[in-house]
Amino acid sequence: MKVLVTGSKGFVGRNLTAHLREDSRFEVLEYSRSNSENELEVLVKQADKIVHLAGVNRPKTENEFKSGNQDLTAKLIHFASQSNKRPHILLSSSTQAELNNPYGESKLGAEQEVLKYHDQTGSRITIYRLPNLFGKWSRPNYNSAIATFCYNVANDLEITVTDPTIELNLAYIDDVVDSIVANLLSDNNNGNNTYVAVPVTYKKTLEEIVTLIQSFKNMRESLLLPNYQDLFVKKLYTTYLSYLKEDAFSYGLTKHEDNRGWLSELIKSDYMGQMFVSKTKPGITRGNHYHHTKVEKFIVISGEAMIRFRHIEKSEVIEYKIEGNEARVVDIPPGYTHSIENIGTDEMITLFWVNEQFDTQKPDTYMNEVIK
């Protein structure tokens, strides 16, 4: 299936073409501002389906709204009407089409051109009235407020919010792309002149958005993971990371060093506890304590370890010899005092997961030698 994507170098276009190229069912044709009108005609007449994303939303003059939205769509419709394929056209419009402003009027005009195409040819059409979009590759200070906020916070720039109570209706770019791809693959020819809504949207205030984005930046010090159970938070965090400078992908952790080696906290979470990583010198033992409620998992990444357990009411010692090349996890049940000893000749690296964050007021950690 040959799919022409107009506006292929824009925010939605770049994400869409990347997804389409991953699917062997599609052959992607691209049209952008660098192409001529003659090239548009050639591309339209090759296409089985057209995703018309090209348009203008921040012109230098108001006249560009009409020429970049309605008039460009009219040209595309003219070429599609002359095509033997009479392609299915999916139009990217905006919720602004319901408003009485130059941009909204130009998007409504583009919709009307597509509707006329169906009336004249009977060809299938799909019209998306998109809300505010966010996601990777959106241009700051152009496409969306979220792009601007993410870019500025990630790059230590000031942000300005005049009214934090303003609520945005938002859709995530991959949800939009998934819907478009599903429509491209659909053979349902019923219900032409279809207005399609993005299946997943979110209503969030500017205050909520900015607070979350600032927490993402602070995560490198707090180590607190976002709440991924909230899908909006998950998608916004993914968006934020896409605005990091390429020389700022990496960051250091605080190392707590002593004669045994070192230990660093890796991540924390209000709903899944925390993770540590440690390096332990040969012959050194860590632990010799137990918990009543707290539980842990140990995995030795490198080196050789002897993990020992003893039920606090018994004298029998249980031993697990673990090597780094095994990728083997050891659970630490409550009520068992436990220790981990480096029995190898090299330094041992261990990853620890604990089901709750360490609380100095209630550590639930009681020293007790495994071997008495």
Judge whether 275 and 353 are in contact, CB under 8 Å.
yes
Residues 282, 304 contacting (CB under 8 angstroms)? no
Closest listed residue to residue 90, CA positions, set 57, 129, 38, 64: 129
CB 55 within 8 A of CB 72: yes
Nearby residues of 367 by Cβ (< 8 Å), 6 or more positions away: 288, 289
Instruction: Say what angle helices 37-46 and 72-82 make with each other, to 10 degrees.
Output: 40
3-state secondary structure of 59: coil
Count how many residues are written for the chain. 372
Active site residue 103: yes
Catalytic residue among 31, 103, 151, 172: 103
Which segments of the chain are extended strands (E)? 2-6, 27-31, 49-52, 88-94, 125-130, 132-134, 167-172, 194-196, 202-205, 256-258, 261-269, 273-280, 285-290, 296-302, 304-311, 318-323, 329-332, 336-342, 348-354, 366-367
Check: CB of residue 50 under 8 Å from CB of residue 6.
Answer: yes
Euclidean distance between CA atoms 262 and 255, whole angstroms: 6
Please give the Cα distance from 197 to 171 (Å, whole number). 10
CA distances from 2 to 47, 50, 184, 185 (A): 5, 9, 10, 12
In whole angstroms, what is the distance from residue 45 CA to residue 161 CA? 46
Q: 167 has which bridge partners?
A: 205
Tokens found for residue 124 = 């299938």
Task: Give me the active site residues, please.
Answer: 103
